[in-house]
Amino acid sequence: MRPQLEKSLTKLAHRLDQSKIILSCRTGDYVTQINGFNVIELCELTAAQIETFTDKWSENPNLFLLTLDSLPYKDISNRPLFLAQLVVLFNNYGYLPEQASDVYRMIIRLIIEDWDMQRHIKRSSKYAGFTSEKKLIFLQVFLTN
């Protein structure tokens, strides 16, 4: 399956001249260079970068960092996307949950529902009945199997 996917991506990359494709994966899953793509690795944020980001985006940077410092999932804050999501959650709710599983659930809800609602975006689709709640149930079933 993977070799076929890589072959298809290489073929697609060589046919495009007006578009860009961005592929992403975890560093440990990156095992071969796909022809037609450049490799870029995102580095972890430093403590100073986390503080700078928080100062710019958090409504209460000091309280956010103090709260984050006491949580068992603090280690994910060095990843830019997770840090952004944690700041948004803290701004929206005024707290971060103690359990990592709770914060991941909140992040998933943020991704599949809240961001569109905040920007007043309605996505029309032939899957209109696939509500946010159904997406959550689907993800739970899919990820546990």
Q: What is the pLDDT of residues 35-69, one digit of tens each?
A: 888 888 778 999 999 999 999 999 999 999 999 99
For the stretch 63-111, pLDDT in tens is 999 999 999 999 999 999 899 999 999 999 999 999 998 998 888 888 8
Structural domain boundaries, residue 114: 47-144
Rounded Cα distance, 123 and 47, in Å = 38
Same domain, 60 and 115: yes
Same domain, 57 and 89: yes
Same domain, 59 and 6: no
Same domain, 33 and 51: no
Q: What is the dihedral of CA 109, 80, 33, 145, to 10 degrees?
A: -30
Cα distances from 58 to residues 21, 42, 53, 63, 91, in angstroms, run: 32, 22, 8, 9, 6
Same domain, 5 and 65: no
Same domain, 119 and 81: yes
Of all residues in the chain, what percent carry a pLDDT higher than 70?
Answer: 77
Same domain, 124 and 90: yes
Same domain, 8 and 36: yes
**How many domains does one find in the chain?**
2
Same domain, 59 and 115: yes
Same domain, 117 and 60: yes
Same domain, 107 and 53: yes
State the pLDDT at residue 64: 98
Residue 114: pLDDT band with limits 50, 70, 90: low
Same domain, 24 and 70: no
